[in-house]
Structure 1
């Protein structure tokens, strides 16, 4: 999966710090949802984030939105980035158009 998200320009260091100290329950929820090989990249000029992750089952992964861990994480991260009314990050899902094994 690939997604674009939007970080506030004054929050770069704090965003990285918080991800380096990911809540244990959020890490566990991601693993339980089948997420692996997860990376987030930052465009320093624009604040645009690119997230790449592999999931075993997209529907199972998307169910993470209903967990207490995700809701707690979103509330914690909400001041740093563009968010939806439920505090989830504004995210644009990307379609894969090329893959090299």
Structure 2
């Protein structure tokens, strides 16, 4: 199963809002992620630094395509812009143990 990771930083003073929005994630956002084959999605927070990880049941290409074409994901991303900044470069995998 292909894996995907991302990194971001929460803007100063916005950590509680970031957590609140994920505690009340839109049901339609969850539907899109499931349609994309996203599973085992986890986000870790260290201070204001975020690290996200998920697995792609239907392949990474499919997962990214479904999300890129989704109006729901576009709205979510816009709603999160005042709260966080995504890093464009992806983390490098340096170790894997199965």
TM above 0.5: yes
Is 1:5–1:49's contact at 8 Å kept on the other side of the alignment? yes
The counterpart of 2:38, out of the listed 32, 35, 40, is 35
Unaligned runs of 5+ in 1: 83-88
Aligned partners of 2:8 and 2:50 also within 8 Å: yes
Structure 2 Cα separation of the partners of residues 19 and 91 of structure 1: 21
What's 1:97 paired with? 94
Aligned length: 93
- Which has the larger share of helix? 1
Q: Partners in 2 of 1:90 and 1:97 — Cα distance?
A: 19
SS in 1 for 2:13: helix
Match of residue 54 from structure 1: 55
For residues 32-83 of structure 1, the C-alpha deviation after alignment (integer angstroms, 9 at most, x for no partner) is 1010000111111xx211001111211111111220110111111111012x
* RMSD of Structure 2 on Structure 1 (CA): 1.3
TM-score by length of 1: 0.83
State the Cα distance separating 1:91 from its structure 2 match: 3.9
The runs of 5 or more residues in structure 2 that have no matched partner are none
CA–CA distance in structure 2, aligned partners of residues 15 and 97 of structure 1: 29
- Structure with the larger strand share: 2
